[in-house]
Amino acid sequence: MTAPHIATSWIIAPAILPAITAAIMILVRRRDIEMQRVLSVASTVALLGIALFLYQAVSDGETDAYRLGAWPAPYGIVLVIDRLSTTMLVLTAGLALAVLLYAIAGWDRRGRHFHALFHFQLLGLNGAFLTGDLFNLFVFFEVMLIASYGLMLHGGGAKRLRAGFQYVAINLIASSLFLIAVGLIYGVTGTLNFADLAVKARAVAANDQALLQTGALLLLLVFAIKAAFVPLHWWLPATYAAASAPIAALFAIMTKVGAYAIIRVFGTVFGDGAGAETLGAVAAPWVVPAALVTLAVGTAGLLGARRLLDLAAFNTIASMGTILIAIGLFSVDGLTAALYYLVHSTIAGAALFLIVDLIAARRPNKLDALVPCNPISQAPVLGALFFLVAIAVVGLPPLSGFIGKLMVLDATYDAPRAWLIWTTILVASLMMTIAFARAGSTIFWKTDGQTTGPGWETASKTPMVVVAFLVGASLMLAVFAGPAVKALHATAGQALDTQNYVNAVLGPQENTEPERPITEPADEATTVPVPADTQVEEH
C-alpha cells in the first residue's frame, strides 16, 4: 500500500462536487437563472482548483487510490489518480469553465436545466477519468452520456430531435457492446478492477485467451465509437452540427474520453506483456490503420463541408485520427505526442465551434453556410480570431497545432510504414489548410452590401473574450511547449507502466493473491466486513 498521501481524500472531490452542485440546482435554484449562473461558475472554478491541486499532488509520479467505504482494492470500488487522469481532469475543468462563460452570454436560457445537466456531464467525465475498474467506467460513461443527451437536445427543434435520436440509439448499442465485453472479461478473469485485471489477464489459461481477446477487441470497438474512429464516426457530424455551439465545444472533450479509455485499458491494463504476448498487442494492429483512415475521412469531410459547423465537426474527426495514430504506437514517445495533441485539439476544437457560432450569429440569412453574404459586424476581430483558430487547428506555426503535429511525425519516424503515416498527415494538413482558407475567404472577403449583425454596443463581449482566451491557451501551450512536453513525457511513461499502477492500487505484491471468493483482507490497514455468519437457508 502506498504511503498516506495528502491528496487521498480529495480524489473523490471532482466527482462529488458536480453531483452536489447539479442536485442543488435542480432542487433549490430551479427558477433563478442568475443564482444558477453564479453557483455554476463558482462550482466550476472550485473544480478547476481541485483538479490543479490533484495534478500537483501526483506530479511527483505517485499513483494514488481512494477506496470507497475502505474496502480493499480488488473487491471494493477504487478511484485512482495518476498524472494521466489528473491531466484530463485539469483539461476538462478548464474547458468547462470556458464553455460555461460562453454559454452564460445567452445559450443557457434556451432550455431548462442547462446548468444542472452541465454539471452532471462533468460528473460523468471526471468519474470516467478517475475510475479504477471496468464496470464503473461503464457507469460513468452512461452518466456522461445521459447528461449529453439532455445537453444535445438543449434548445429543442425538430432537426435536433432527429439527430438526437440517432445519437442516443448509437450510444445505446455501444453501451450494449460494452456490457458484452465486460461480461466476457469478467467470465474469463473473474475481476473487473483494472489493477487486478492487469495481474489476472497474464495468468489466463491458453484456451480462454480467445475469449479474453474477443472481450478486449469489443472494448476497443466501444471506445472507437466514443472516439469517432472510422468506420464508427458517422454519428458525429450530425450530432455535433445539430448541438448548440457551447455544447459541441464541451463535446470536444467527449471524444477524448474514448482516447483516454484506449490509453488506460490498452496501455496501462493490458499493456506491458499482459496476457503473455498477445493481449497487450491485440489492439495495436487495428489502431494505426483505422486512425489513418479516420484522418483521411475527416480531411475529406473538411474539403466537402458546405457549412462552417461541418468544418468544425469533421475537424474533430481529423484531430482524433491524428491522436490515435500516435496512441496506436503504444510507445512513450507516441503517447507523449498523442497527449500533447489531445490537449491542443481539445482547446482548438472547442474554440472553432465557438467562433463558428459567433460568425453564424452575425449572418441572419445564411448563418454558417459557406456562401457569400453581407459583411458581418466586427469582422476584423472575428476574422483575426478565425484566422488564429484555423492556424491552430490546421497545425501551422506558431500555435500549438504545429508542435503537436511535429511531435506526432517525430514519434512515428521509426514506426512500420512510417512513409504512409507521414504522407497521410502531411497531405491531410495541406488539405485542411485549403479547406480553412476557402472558408475564411468566402466568409470574410466575398462580401457585398450592408453590414449585418449586432454592433459593438449591443453585442456581448464575453464570448469573444472566451474565444480569445482559448486561442491564448493554444499559444501558451506552444510557448511553454518545453515544460509541457516534459510533464506529458512523464505522464506517458507512467501511463504505460502497468506494474506501478498495480502496486499503487493493490499494494506491492508477488502475484500470490488468492482466488475469488475472498475472505481475508488484502490490505493491512482496513478490515473487510465479510458477511461470514450470514445464514442462508437452503430450500
Partner 1 sequence: MELIVSSAIGLMTAAAVYLILQQRTFPIVVGLTLLSYAINIFLFSSGRLVIDKPPIIGGADAYTDPLPQALVLTAIVISFGMTALIVVLALRGFLETATDTADLPEDDFPDETETGT
User: What Rg value do the Cα atoms of the chain yield, rounded?
Assistant: 23
CB of 381: closest distance to partner 1 in angstroms?
Answer: 14
Q: Which cell is 508 given?
A: 506491492
Counting contacts by CB under 8 A, is residue 452 touching partner 1? no
- 109 lies in the site for partner 1, by CB under 8 A: no
From 59-67, 141-149, 317-325, 476-484, span contacting partner 1 (CB under 8 A): 141-149
* Residue 305 Cβ vs partner 1, minimum distance, rounded to whole Å: 10
Residue 495, all three cell numbers = 501511463
424 binds partner 1 (CB under 8 A): no
Of residues 229 through 258, those in contact with partner 1 by CB under 8 A are 238, 244-246
Rounded CA separation 346/352 (Å): 10
Closest CA to 392 of 473, 294, 295, 488: 473
How many separate helices (H) and strands (E) can be counted in the chain?
Answer: 19, 2
Which of 139, 281, 284, 406 is the binder for partner 1 (CB under 8 A)? 139
161 binds partner 1 (CB under 8 A): yes
Among 48, 99, 163, 478, binds partner 1 (CB under 8 A): 163
Q: Which amino acid is at 278?
A: T
Among 8, 12, 45, 142, contact with partner 1 (rule: CB under 8 A): 142
Cell triple for residue 359? 460568425
Q: Please, which residue, 142 or 410, has the CB nearer to partner 1?
A: 142
List the interface residues with partner 1, window 491-530 (CB under 8 A).
517, 519, 530
CB 500 within 8 A of CB 49: no
Total of chain residues touching partner 1, rule CB under 8 A: 66
451 binds partner 1 (CB under 8 A): no
CB of 467 to partner 1, least distance (A): 12
Local structure of residue 64 (DSSP, 8 states): E
- The answer to the question of residue 168 lying near partner 1 (CB under 8 A) is yes
Q: Considering the complex, what minimum distance in angstroms separates the CB of residue 477 from partner 1? A: 26
Among 284, 459, 476, 490, binds partner 1 (CB under 8 A): 459
One residue of 221, 284, 369, 490 binding partner 1 per CB under 8 A = 369
Cα–chain center distance at 219 = 16
Which H or E element spans position 525? none
Residue among 160 and 405 whose Cβ is closer to partner 1: 160
For helices 134-153 and 114-130, the axis angle rounded to 10 degrees is 160
Nearer CB in complex with partner 1: 48/243: 243
Find the DSSP H helices in 154-208: 158-189, 194-200
Nearer to partner 1, 76 or 493 (CB): 76
Nearest approach in angstroms of CB 487 to partner 1 is 34
Q: Which helix (H) or strand (E) holds 157?
A: none
Q: Please give the Cα distance from 194 to 495 (Å, whole number).
A: 13
User: What residues contact 244, with CB distance under 8 A and at least 6 apart?
Assistant: 107, 110, 154, 155, 357
- Count of CA atoms in the C-beta half-sphere (13 A) of 414: 5
CB 477, CB 484: distance < 8 Å: yes
Binding site for partner 1 (CB under 8 A): 102, 105-107, 110, 135, 139, 142, 146, 149, 153, 155, 157-166, 168-169, 172-173, 175-176, 179-180, 182-184, 186-187, 192, 238, 244-246, 306-307, 309, 357-358, 360-361, 364, 366-369, 454, 459-460, 463, 517, 519, 530-536, 538
